[in-house]
Structure 1
Amino acid sequence: MWTHTAPILLLIASNVFMTFAWYGHLKFTDRPLFAVILVAWGIAFFEYCLQVPANRMGYTVYNAAQLKTIQEIITLVVFVVFSVTYLGAAIKWNHLVGFALIALAAFFIFLD
């Protein structure tokens, strides 16, 4: 069971870093772009330190399409939480419909 859950946990942690690296600077638009880029790269380093082992371990129990699908679903969930709590964005009905369709697509990816 651990071989199935460890990659998912690492992907969740990796996505938290990735989301802050890519979107965290949006609250600091007064900062110089070069400084923001350097900070984002520093945060992204930790994302890669989690992402690479997650994919390597995950590939022993999931195929590449399944790994990518897990990654995308986690990315969406992490981003929704981040955008609502950190950026103060609202989630609208059309976002939920789009996410539901992506979840439906994920269902079909995992059919074997």
Structure 2
Amino acid sequence: MKGALTILLLTISNLFMTFAWYGHLQFKKLAWFSKLGLVGVILVSWGLAFFEYVFQVPANRVGFEENGGPFNLFQLKVIQEFITLTVFTLCTVYVFKTDKLGWNHLVGFVLLILAVYVIFKKW
């Protein structure tokens, strides 16, 4: 249960992170947003990043093995990276619609899955 909750919270966190880090590149198409200067854009991104942390910090606390969760630090980081790239890719292709998914992206995801396997494998 704690593992699933960790993954859910990290996924929500990454949605906010993607919009905080890259959304402003798309939001400029909105009339009110395009009038903001750099400081305004930074403040909007910080506002979104706040919610990233609202979900990310509890996710790592719940998931960390020393707090009764199922994951060690390496595992939490690899899960985070996998979720980050998955959420980013889905947002880029289906929400922002700026890029298309190519074969090289698919090969990269296979390698990420292999990385998750290697990190989680007890040797």
In the alignment, what sits opposite 1:100? 110
TM-score normalised per structure 1? 0.93
For structure 1, which runs of at least 5 residues remain unmatched after alignment? none
The 5-angstrom pairing of residues 1-112 of structure 1 reads: 2-27=1-26, 28=28, 30=34, 31-59=36-64, 60-88=69-97, 89-112=99-122
- Deviating beyond 3 angstroms after TM superposition, the runs of 4 or more aligned structure 1 residues are none
Higher gyration radius (CA): 2
Partner Cα distance (1:20, 1:110) in 2: 29
CA distance in 2, matches of 1:15, 1:7: 12
RMSD, aligned α-carbons = 1.2
Gaps of 5+ in 2: none
Distance 1:32 1:94 in 2: 36
Q: Partners in 2 of 1:78 and 1:38 — Cα distance?
A: 23
Q: In the TM superposition, what is the alpha-carbon distance from 1:22 to its structure 2 partner?
A: 0.4
Could you tell me how far 1:92 is from its partner in structure 2? Answer: 1.1
What is the TM-score when the length of structure 2 is the normalising length? 0.85
Deviation at 1:86, TM superposition (A): 2.0
Alpha-carbon displacement from aligned partner over 1:63-85 (angstroms, at most 9, x marks no partner): 00000111111111101110011
Residue by residue over 1:85-105, the C-alpha shift from the partner in whole angstroms, topping out at 9 and shown as x without a partner, is: 122111111111112111111
Aligned length: 111
Letter of the 2:78 counterpart = T
